[in-house]
Amino acid sequence: MNAVRAWLSALVADWRLGLLLVAALLLGAPWLSPGTVQIASFVLIAAIFAQSINLLTGLAGQISLGHAGFFGIGAYCTGILVKTHGLDVALGVPVAVLLAGLTGWLLSFPANRVRDVYLAMMTLGFGMVFFEIVREWNDVTGGTMGLPGVPSAALRTLTILGVKVDGLGYFRLLLLITAGIVLLMRNLTQSRIGRAFYAIHVSEVAAGSIGIPAGRTKQLAYALSGAVAGLAGALYAHLVGYLGPESFALPRSIEVLVIAIVGGLGSIAGQVLSATLFTFLPERLQVFAEWQFIAYGLVLTFSLLVLPRGIGGLFFLPPRFIRPRALARAAARRAETATLRPAGQGAALEAEGITMRFGGLVAVDDVSLRLEPGRITALVGPNGSGKSTFVNVVTGIYRPSAGRVRFAERDITGLPDHQVAAAGVVRTFQDPRLVPHFTVRENLLLGAHRQFRHTGLAAALALPGATRDEAAQLALVEAVLALADLTDVADRPIDTLPYGTRRMAEVGRALLAQPRIILLDEPAAGLSEAEMERLSQLIRDMKAMGIGILLIDHHMDFLAELVDDVVVLDSGRMIYRGDIAGMRGDAQVIAAYLGDEAAHA
Ligand SMILES: Nc1ncnc2c1ncn2[C@@H]1O[C@H](COP(=O)(O)OP(=O)(O)OP(=O)(O)O)[C@@H](O)[C@H]1O
């Protein structure tokens, strides 16, 4: 089955086939009946609309129950501008797209404050508010009577830039626009933007730790999704010629969500197939139209039970997040240039008097320590002594109750995690936080998110500069894969690999962020002897690059071979700072942590 999926995936990824299909439809359309051309036009609009959900929900993981609102903004905006104000469609549609995108961007601010079921409710509210505005704003929208007579293909009143466009011409235009949107979506998915969307979908904390800001990433996802939905709505307006509020009510939001889920969230081709199915069937089977929502419910339930990854998951392999051309380029240049750039100008991190209280509990109590470039400091102590909390404070997950963190002569206390990472202070987690569906290589490339120099537009258009930039980072990824001994599993999804491999991949991902300070929270936990050996070599390599390292661990032998300094915490307080031999003989450390036996082992 996987071989069939691989074959089909390669087929739909082949641009020549896409071109052939588009050309065949463009040329063959005159042989179709006007009714079929009209339905096919609806299919294309549904496909574009479904891509907007695919982007927001499938990629960025943000549920929306109010997408009919964006669709409606696009439709009414161009409808009003073209019909009432006499604007050309070639201007009306882009303005509509911009307005819907802007609305999406604005909606992202409240949306960023809630999640899950609350987000669903909030977006539902947005759709309902839009619906009410349209119904009540009689003068502009025509209220419940609607807005008839919008220049359209159906009414044979559509002219674009002075050229009369009939149903067939409009279908051809829609086909080209849909092909363009599908291409843009594919390019975005296989770029730093698609990877960032998916990273915040899986874990905002993990994304923040490598410098991906959840808030800004969501703003972009909402704006793009709103714009694409607005485009679908605007194109719809000039297809049908009549806009009534009922067309933009809750059922349309549900319908597009069902299309997207059944198509398989994340699968671009799946959306097109699903849009075709859901648009053709109701037209062909009249009985289906009457029982439309019961049918939707049944199809959705069936799909979730039998095809959890939708039609897309049935026919195609899961989407990939690296452009194959960039990968090929990287492979060609790996030999000469894939050397890891040593970390920039060495800089120390200074934590002064850090205190972190959770209610009455003092998790970290007045701890000061300094991390020097090219030095390894171990942070040890019994369970619950405050080690992870200290790392969380330094890396911006918590704002300390007291104390300051300075890095490279800059006060970074209380900065959000992504800004701390952007400054060069990167961490790993006690439980590896990787993107489960990403391959090892994709996970590592995610770490390089802040190193890219090309714009989002260049990524969406897959401009040569963007591909070159990706290839340069991929060459570094190959170097880190080799360093961490992960080359053999580079193309395997990370969730199919053993724990030790995942840990190594997380350290590798942090290294790709080109840190100047790295904080490793128990990286050796659960590793085999051989894996620990590999990890300690990797840590030595990082030290040699001039990176300052904080290493939390409980294995004294592992630490003894590696570290320059040790800091011991007990109940949040620092009870020892010095070298490891001194620590082993320290009475307070023995009493609180090591115990007599361990100290003399
Ligand atoms: N978000 C939180 N809210 C309340 N208490 C917390 C929170 N995070 C940590 N703590 C508490 O702070 C103390 C220190 O926890 P922390 O996880 O930092 O210890 P640790 O030394 O990293 O332990 P371990 O070795 O088990 O990971 C614990 O008592 C813990 O329960």
> Taking the domains of the chain in order of start, what are their residue ranges?
2-317, 349-600
| Beta carbons of 546 and 373 less than 8 angstroms apart | yes
- The closest-lying atom of ligand 1 relative to the alpha carbon of residue 398 is 1
Crossing angle between the packed helical segments 15-28 and 167-189, to the nearest 10 degrees = 170
Most ligand 1 atoms within 8 A of CB, residue of 355, 362, 385, 559 to mutate = 385
- The length of the chain in residues reads 601
Separation of 383 CA from ligand 1 center, angstroms? 8
Average pLDDT, the chain: 89
pLDDT tens digits, one per residue of 199-236: 999 889 889 999 999 999 999 999 999 999 999 999 99
Separation of 492 CA from ligand 1 center, angstroms? 34
- Confidence tier at 448 by pLDDT (50, 70, 90): very high
Residue 500: how many CB atoms within 10 A of its CB? Answer: 19
- The enclosing H or E element of 518 equals strand 517-521
User: What local confidence, expressed as pLDDT, does residue 339 receive?
Assistant: 60
- The closest-lying atom of ligand 1 relative to the alpha carbon of residue 390 is 18
Most ligand 1 atoms within 8 A of CB, residue of 205, 356, 358 to mutate = 358
Tell me the CATH architecture of domain 349-600.
3-Layer(aba) Sandwich (3.40)
Phi-psi region of 357 (alpha: psi -120 to 50; beta: other; left: phi over 0): beta
| Beta carbons of 444 and 481 less than 8 angstroms apart | yes
Burial class (CB in 10 A: 0-12, 13-18, 19+), 174: buried
User: How far apart, in Å, are the Cα atoms of 98 and each of 92, 291, 474?
Assistant: 10, 36, 34
Most ligand 1 atoms within 8 A of CB, residue of 355, 365, 380, 387 to mutate = 387
User: What local confidence, expressed as pLDDT, does residue 597 receive?
Assistant: 44
Residue in 421, 440, 446 with CA at minimum distance from that of residue 488: 440
pLDDT tens digits, one per residue of 419-441: 999 999 999 998 889 998 899 99
Separation of 569 CA from ligand 1 center, angstroms? 12
Nearest residue (by CA) to ligand 1, atom 31, is 384
The dihedral sign for the CA sequence 39, 44, 45, 49: positive
For ligand 1, residues with CB inside 6 Å are 358, 361, 363, 381, 383-389, 430
- Confidence tier at 193 by pLDDT (50, 70, 90): very high
Quote the CA–CA distance of 368 and 379 in Å, as a whole number.
Answer: 12
Amino acid identity, residue 184? L
User: What local confidence, expressed as pLDDT, does residue 3 receive?
Assistant: 85
Q: Is 47 helix (H, G, I), strand (E, B) or coil?
A: helix
Quote the CA–CA distance of 412 and 424 in Å, as a whole number.
Answer: 11
Nearest residue (by CA) to ligand 1, atom 30, is 384
Residue in 102, 62, 96 with CA at minimum distance from that of residue 80: 96
Residue in 273, 36, 24, 27 with CA at minimum distance from that of residue 167: 36
pLDDT tens digits, one per residue of 95-138: 999 999 999 999 999 988 887 888 888 888 889 999 999 999 98
- The closest-lying atom of ligand 1 relative to the alpha carbon of residue 364 is 14
Separation of 531 CA from ligand 1 center, angstroms? 27
Nearest residue (by CA) to ligand 1, atom 1, is 358
Residue in 104, 101, 83, 103 with CA at minimum distance from that of residue 92: 83
Residue 343 has pLDDT above 90, yes or no: no
Quote the CA–CA distance of 262 and 46 in Å, as a whole number.
Answer: 13
Nearest residue (by CA) to ligand 1, atom 17, is 388
Residue in 316, 322, 324, 223 with CA at minimum distance from that of residue 271: 316
What b-and-e string marks burial along 397-426, b requiring 16 or more CB atoms within 10 Å of the CB? Answer: bbebeebebbbbeeebbebebbebbbbbbb
